[in-house]
Amino acid sequence: MLSHMPLSEFSLIDQYFRRSQLRDDVQCGIGDDAAILRVPPHTDLVAAIDTLVAGVHFPAGTAPADIGYKAMMVNLSDLAAMGAEPAWATLALTLPESEPDWLTAFSEGFFAGASSCNVALVGGDTTRGPLTITVQVQGFVPEGRAIRRSGAQAGDRLFVTGSLGDAGLGLMYATGQRRDQDDAVQQVLRRLNRPEARISAGLAMRGLASAAIDISDGLLGDLQHILDASDCGATVWMDDLPRSSAFSALVRPDEASWYDLPLSAGDDFELLISVPEAREADFVATMQQTGVAVTAIGHIEAHPGLRCIARDGVRYRPLVSGYQHFS
């Protein structure tokens, strides 16, 4: 019978994951049976968890520092989508073997992501098995101010932060489906391996957005989650999708990927935000002050369903709806 086989848990966590505490709301972090954390008054605690499995969520050859960084960021992205301010994290690490070089690089990437968002690791657990990383994060919002998927209403405008399709394009290079010699390739690989959670945009949309989600599985798939939760439909103007200069340098507009990747590829971790018409000008001005680019890509409608329309009126039918994870 297979049993739980600890990987000398205490020394591993102590050696690689115990860092000096950067938050004074951590009453007790790593080193006891459980962490003791002080939640500020009049605050809702927002929690998210995500698991990355080698060969499913990232190619098996991914650099350990990138895996650590991404494991943290995909979780922080979920907090960003709720309008939450990140605070704490716990880590469950399943490893085939205890390899010092791998653990050193992984923890460096992990803490680079954590400290960039002022997040303290307050607990950890290690087990032997196929490489799997589970991170849970907690953050705060003022009572009742979290943004949900369910608040979108007909007439709301749909915005996305940043640009779409880079991570999906990066994955095509990482897996050898595309080959090019160009600096832009490094840029899209970085979007794949070192995503940035849109924390500041998440905080700035409080009080302005009616609904939001982070784009982890592809724009259309994640928009559908908002539509399901809000019981409405939407039109996306596919000529308005924001693409990075790296993307535009690598993909020609007559390639299927020009539309497929921004609409359906995952892992960009941008925010998709619906904003009531009356708050649109405020929203745009606030995002400008925050330094986050936002692009209007469509609107919410009462009529159910998701329509993707080009300016010439042609409707787009995606090859796949929702992101197929790497495997």
With CB under 5 A as the contact rule, the residue among 156, 166, 196, 214 that binds Mg ion is: 214
Between 214 and 301, CB nearer to Mg ion: 214
Between 148 and 307, CB nearer to Mg ion: 148
- Beta bridge pairs of residue 26: 37
Q: Which stretch binds Mg ion (CB under 5 A): 14-22, 125-133, 212-220, 239-247?
A: 212-220
Query: With the CA atoms of 199, 202, 204 and 207 taken in that order, what torsion angle do they form, in degrees rounded to the nearest 10?
Result: -150
Structural tokens at position 206: 């409080």
Between 7 and 292, CB nearer to Mg ion: 292
Size of the site for Mg ion (CB under 5 A): 2
50 touching Mg ion, by CB under 5 A: no
267 touching Mg ion, by CB under 5 A: no
Closest distance of CB 15 from Mg ion, Å: 32
Between 227 and 250, CB nearer to Mg ion: 227
Cα(169)–Cα(257) distance, integer angstroms: 8
Closest distance of CB 81 from Mg ion, Å: 5
CB count, 10 Å around CB of 113? 26
Cα(114)–Cα(23) distance, integer angstroms: 12
Closest distance of CB 85 from Mg ion, Å: 17
Q: Which stretch binds Mg ion (CB under 5 A): 94-102, 209-217, 228-236, 266-274?
A: 209-217
Closest distance of CB 82 from Mg ion, Å: 9
Between 119 and 251, CB nearer to Mg ion: 119
78 touching Mg ion, by CB under 5 A: yes
The CA–CA distances, whole Å, from 28 to 55, 126, 134, 141 equal 35, 19, 21, 22
- Tell which positions 272-301 bind Mg ion, by CB under 5 A: none
Cα(307)–Cα(31) distance, integer angstroms: 52
Q: Which stretch binds Mg ion (CB under 5 A): 123-131, 192-200, 214-222, 269-277?
A: 214-222
Structural tokens at position 245: 């200069």
Closest distance of CB 255 from Mg ion, Å: 28
- Please give the residue ranges that form the binding site for Mg ion (CB under 5 A): 78, 214
